[in-house]
């Protein structure tokens, strides 16, 4: 009899704790998927995309996206309709270091002396640490200095990991060993 009372008490305690477990806070959202390997895409001749007396490289990609790379500052970015962009953003830009960011703008980022040329599928253009390209569906710019960048595509638009494990790591951790 005593054992049955103990089991009943244990079962009641378990039942009471089950809702508390179910109501636990969800964990952080999963990280975005990695960007495409744009360095596997064919490198185009940058001078074919030079505009504004050679101060910019400008090109278009599918989905009515226009991208630019500044030869003066090393800044880069794209504008256009971005599927699934944060807060409905229509511009994304970055620099030679640090994570790019999404924003909304009333005007496109490119105003030049001639229309930008389309970048062929599976090709990229590179300047300093930054490569931008398209596979014909996705458009991506990636900065090899700090492994940051962005992806624009039908499944969503997002910023890539903005930390370099060789430069930004927790105290006492070696990036080569887990």
- Single out the residue of 77, 71, 75 nearest to residue 90, CA to CA: 77
Q: Which domain holds residue 43?
A: 38-159
Q: What is the pLDDT of residue 29?
A: 65
> Distance (Å, rounded) from C-alpha 10 to C-alpha 59?
68
Examine residue 175 and state whether it is found in any structural domain, yes or no. Answer: no
- pLDDT tens, position by position, 2-58: 444 433 444 444 444 444 445 567 777 666 778 899 999 999 999 999 999 999 999
More confident call, 110 vs 7: 110
Tally of CB atoms within 10 A around 117: 15
What is the DSSP code (8-state) at residue 122? Answer: T
From residue 135, give the alpha-carbon distance in Å to each of 35, 58, 92, 101. 12, 17, 19, 22
Give the contacts of 73 (CB within 8 A, at least 6 positions apart): 95, 96
- pLDDT tens, position by position, 113-130: 889 999 999 999 999 999
Task: Give me the number of domains the chain comprises.
Answer: 1
- pLDDT tens, position by position, 130-155: 999 999 999 999 999 888 999 999 98
């Amino acid at each position: 009899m005593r054992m049955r009372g103990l089991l009943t008490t244990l079962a009641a305690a378990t039942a009471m704790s089950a809702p508390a477990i179910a109501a636990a806070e969800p964990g952080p959202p999963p990280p975005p998927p990695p960007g495409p390997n744009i360095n596997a895409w064919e490198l185009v001749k940058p001078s074919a995309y030079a505009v504004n007396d050679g101060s910019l490289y400008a090109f278009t990609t599918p989905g009515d996206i226009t991208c630019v790379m500044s030869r003066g500052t090393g800044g880069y970015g794209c504008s256009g309709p971005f599927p699934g962009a944060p807060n409905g953003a229509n511009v994304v830009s970055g620099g030679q270091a640090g994570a790019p960011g999404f924003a909304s703008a009333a005007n496109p980022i490119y105003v030049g002396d001639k229309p930008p040329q389309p970048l062929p599928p599976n090709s990229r253009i590179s300047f300093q640490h930054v490569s931008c390209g398209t596979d014909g569906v996705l458009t991506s710019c990636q900065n090899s200095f700090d492994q940051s960048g962005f992806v624009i595509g039908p499944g969503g638009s997002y910023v890539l990991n903005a930390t370099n494990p060789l430069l930004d790591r927790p105290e006492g951790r070696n990036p080569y060993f887990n």
